[in-house]
Amino acid sequence: MKTNTMDTKTINVLNPLLEPFNTLHDTAPFPKLKNEHYLPAFQEAIKQAKAEIQAVIDNPAQPTFGNTVEAMEATGQRLSIIRGIFFNLNSAETNDEMQQIAQEVAPMLAEFGNDISLNEELFARVKAVYEQKDQLELTTEQQTLLDNSYQSFVRNGANLSADDKESYRQITAELSKLGLQFQQNVLAETNAFELHLTREDELAGLPDFVREAAALTARQKNKEGWIFTLQHPSFIPFMKYSDRRDLREQLFRASSRKGNQDNEYDNKEIIRKILELKLQKAKLLGYKTHADFKLERRMAETPAKVASFLDELHQASKPFAQNDLAEVQQFANENGFEGTIERWDWAYYSEKLKNARYGFNEEEVKPYFQLENVARGIFGLAQKLYKLEFKENKQIDVYHPDVKAYEVFNNQGEFIAVLYMDFFPRESKRSGAWMTDYRSQYVEKGVNKRPHISIVCNFTKPTETKPSLLTFDEVTTFLHEFGHALHGMLSQCRYASTSGTNVYWDFVELPSQMHENWAYEKEWLDQFAVHFETGEKLPEELIHKIVAAKNFQAGYFQERQLSFGMLDMAYHTQQEALREPVAQFEAKAMKPTELLKPVDGALMSTAFSHIFAGGYDAGYYSYKWAEVLDADAYSIFQQNGIFDQDTADSFRQNILEKGGSEHPMVLYKRFRGQEPTVDALLERSGLKK
């Protein structure tokens, strides 16, 4: 019989996650990994990381940048590799057991994180270094690393008195409970309603795919007929296509009063409490408002800047939005509708107007976007702009036969990165598309450790007779994720935590969204977008239709996004607890952007999970911010040529290589020569007078 300790040791010796990988470029040894390796690997790696951190704390020498901040950065490397592999696979190639392990590992990692951020001895060392930062001769990236390290302690309450620390802990614990409860209430209210239809005539106007989905929902609930719910995939098509105005109204009213029905799931009081606690927390940490606290670590920096940003866009789009409204009203009247259109009429008549005007259909476009051709086009773009070569290498281990692994080289033949591409849906993969890494770029003992980057998508799979043909949306998704991947692959930083996509939250979508712009350029499309059967090029008029359809009701949609951003900022710039009723506060905040007549009992706030449960608090503006950045950055390519070498070099050197090593506004200005303006976005969306 072996003892437990022996057993652990035996496992560790054989655990590939705890051994040197001995693979090409030190890539993850996927075929060797088994579910039973993860938990012991996490336990061992956390133990190692703790010991490494303790060694930093116990260092008898005076704290210096090198023996404290830089030394901390170097701890826990094995843990971060294991973490990367496990959580990436848990998204892309999971199984029940892995999900179970994830549940077990999450609290272990949370506790480990707390052990660091609440460690007073460690903070004392970091603070000692931070206080002499002006005397230290640090590079810009080192200053950023020091600042990040110090701020992550301070923003978690490390500088507070013992009493205040206790209040801080209570506030954050209470906030996480309330956020969860808010979310659960929204979910309960979403699930509590169903529109159950049993007669064929109640389905008037609905396309087959909508009927089929509703019939499936009914069958799953053991009911006859068709069921529509408040879930987006059911709700949105019903509002778009149903000819039955009475039913649209019924569904709309149900959807818009979630969390506002004075029942056990009501969120109004929770909103009040959340806002109050966030304000208390901000004040405890020395900020005027919650927005001031949040924005300090963002590119936008201050509430005033966000306010003027939102207002500038609002002034520009309001007249266009009003015009969009007038057009839909007129179109509805011309098509037999009497009276003023209500909120439940908007999507319905908009859809019909859009069809009447552009009438282009996804299926017409898809044959020109065979996946292999699109990939070739995107690699070609990366070669033109950044001089990158992609070579598939089957010797690099992958975690599923669908995954392809590439070695990426620059034009001097130097190895730049490993890139995994995983395109097709399967049951073990979550939905959506994302970029991630298995290893970030950093420099260790003078060696530039190149990154291992991955793109995961859910594109249409090829069949025996047809290749994978992408929709236009999927083409832009590919470019988007590839843009993130370039940010990861081209990184030339010194520290992992400041490299690649480790940037401020409202800056991270610049490389991804900017690269989407090429999808609208004939010059680029001509290089690869040919019909998979006839070889004919994508016709120019189809490209024009795609662009026009994209800008349809741009004014209306912009106003809508701005209304959410403004509501978010209104709540989080309050300097006192909310006293007036939520409905009244919301009505006031949304008044400037209001287009359609308000509906009794309808409330945005009580279901606004983004800001009350989702981390977008004082951050909803970032959707528009990212668009402004990408359009503004791309306008330089448009001016100088979409393949202009100097512009691409500048984007690479000033943005893609720099990661989060400097403040994003500094990086951006270096590329652009000035701060971003809203002009290019307005121009691109057709919102310029």
Is the Cβ of residue 214 or residue 435 nearer to Zn ion in the bound state?
A: 435
The DSSP 8-state label assigned to residue 591 in this structure reads G
**Smallest distance, Å, CB 512 to Zn ion?**
4
User: Could you say which of 70, 93, 407, 481 is catalytic?
Assistant: 481
Answer for which of 498, 512, 573, 606 binds Zn ion (CB under 5 A) is 512
Q: Which stretch binds Zn ion (CB under 5 A): 20-28, 437-445, 507-515, 581-589?
A: 507-515
Element (H, E) at 398: none
Ordered DSSP codes for 320-352: HHHHHHHHHHHHHHHTT--S---HHHHHHHHHH
Q: Which residues contact 505 (CB under 8 A, 6 or more apart)?
A: 297, 298, 619, 622
Q: Which stretch binds Zn ion (CB under 5 A): 78-86, 335-343, 462-470, 511-519?
A: 511-519
The first and second tokens of residue 338, run together, are 């009497």
Q: Is 622 in the site for Zn ion (CB under 5 A)?
A: no
**Smallest distance, Å, CB 666 to Zn ion?**
22
Is the Cβ of residue 441 or residue 512 nearer to Zn ion in the bound state?
A: 512
Is the Cβ of residue 44 or residue 509 nearer to Zn ion in the bound state?
A: 509
In sequence order, which ranges of 155-289 are alpha helices (DSSP H)? 162-192, 208-220, 232-241, 245-256, 268-284
Is the Cβ of residue 142 or residue 512 nearer to Zn ion in the bound state?
A: 512
**Residues within window 533-552 making contact with Zn ion, judged by CB under 5 A:** none
Residues in binding contact with Zn ion, number by CB under 5 A: 1
Q: Which residue shows structure tokens 């359809």?
A: 549
The DSSP 8-state label assigned to residue 68 in this structure reads I
Residue count of the chain = 689
**Residues within window 663-682 making contact with Zn ion, judged by CB under 5 A:** none
Buried b / exposed e along 514-531 (16+ C-beta atoms within 10 A): bbbbbbbbeebbebbbbe
**Smallest distance, Å, CB 57 to Zn ion?**
37
Query: Are 300 and 194 spatial neighbours (Cβ–Cβ below 8 Å)?
Result: no
Query: Are 237 and 257 spatial neighbours (Cβ–Cβ below 8 Å)?
Result: no
**Smallest distance, Å, CB 516 to Zn ion?**
10
| Residue 48: alpha-carbon gap to chain centroid | 32
Q: Which stretch binds Zn ion (CB under 5 A): 218-226, 376-384, 512-520, 575-583?
A: 512-520
Q: Which stretch binds Zn ion (CB under 5 A): 9-17, 63-71, 506-514, 523-531?
A: 506-514
Is the Cβ of residue 234 or residue 512 nearer to Zn ion in the bound state?
A: 512
**Residues within window 178-237 making contact with Zn ion, judged by CB under 5 A:** none
In sequence order, which ranges of 358-508 are alpha helices (DSSP H)? 362-365, 371-386, 472-489
The first and second tokens of residue 242, run together, are 């149903």
Is 481 designated active site? yes
Q: Which stretch binds Zn ion (CB under 5 A): 188-196, 390-398, 508-516, 592-600?
A: 508-516
**Smallest distance, Å, CB 509 to Zn ion?**
5
Q: What is the largest CA-CA distance in the chain?
A: 86
| Residue 648 CB neighbour total at 10 angstroms | 21
Q: Which amino acid is at 61?
A: A
What is the pattern of x (binds Zn ion, CB under 5 A) and - over residues 311-350?
Answer: ----------------------------------------
Ordered DSSP codes for 298-317: SSS-SHHHHHHHHHHHHHHH
How far is residue 277's CA from residue 411's CA, in Å, rounded to a whole number?
54
**Smallest distance, Å, CB 431 to Zn ion?**
15
Decide the pairing of beta strands 434-439 and 415-422: unpaired
Is the Cβ of residue 611 or residue 626 nearer to Zn ion in the bound state?
A: 626
Query: Are 233 and 271 spatial neighbours (Cβ–Cβ below 8 Å)?
Result: no
Is the Cβ of residue 260 or residue 512 nearer to Zn ion in the bound state?
A: 512
Is the Cβ of residue 187 or residue 433 nearer to Zn ion in the bound state?
A: 433
**Smallest distance, Å, CB 622 to Zn ion?**
11
Is the Cβ of residue 512 or residue 661 nearer to Zn ion in the bound state?
A: 512
Q: Which stretch binds Zn ion (CB under 5 A): 54-62, 207-215, 504-512, 625-633?
A: 504-512
Query: Are 148 and 91 spatial neighbours (Cβ–Cβ below 8 Å)?
Result: no
**Smallest distance, Å, CB 156 to Zn ion?**
27
Q: Which stretch binds Zn ion (CB under 5 A): 331-339, 364-372, 407-415, 509-517?
A: 509-517
**Smallest distance, Å, CB 183 to Zn ion?**
23
What is the pattern of x (binds Zn ion, CB under 5 A) and - over residues 460-499?
Answer: ----------------------------------------
Nearest Cα residue to 593 out of 558, 623, 563, 561: 563
How far is residue 568's CA from residue 562's CA, in Å, rounded to a whole number?
10
**Smallest distance, Å, CB 480 to Zn ion?**
6
Q: Which stretch binds Zn ion (CB under 5 A): 371-379, 466-474, 510-518, 560-568?
A: 510-518
Is the Cβ of residue 267 or residue 512 nearer to Zn ion in the bound state?
A: 512
**Smallest distance, Å, CB 629 to Zn ion?**
12
3-state secondary structure of 670: helix
Please report, to the nearest 10 degrees, the dihedral formed by the alpha carbons of residues 593, 594, 595, 601 taken in order: 150
Residue nearest to Zn ion (CB): 512
Q: Which amino acid is at 661?
A: S
How far is residue 314's CA from residue 558's CA, in Å, rounded to a whole number?
8
Query: Are 291 and 572 spatial neighbours (Cβ–Cβ below 8 Å)?
Result: yes
| Residue 421: alpha-carbon gap to chain centroid | 19
- Which residues are 197's β-sheet partners? 226
Is the Cβ of residue 358 or residue 623 nearer to Zn ion in the bound state?
A: 623
Return residues touching Zn ion (CB under 5 A).
512
Catalytically active residues, by annotation: 481
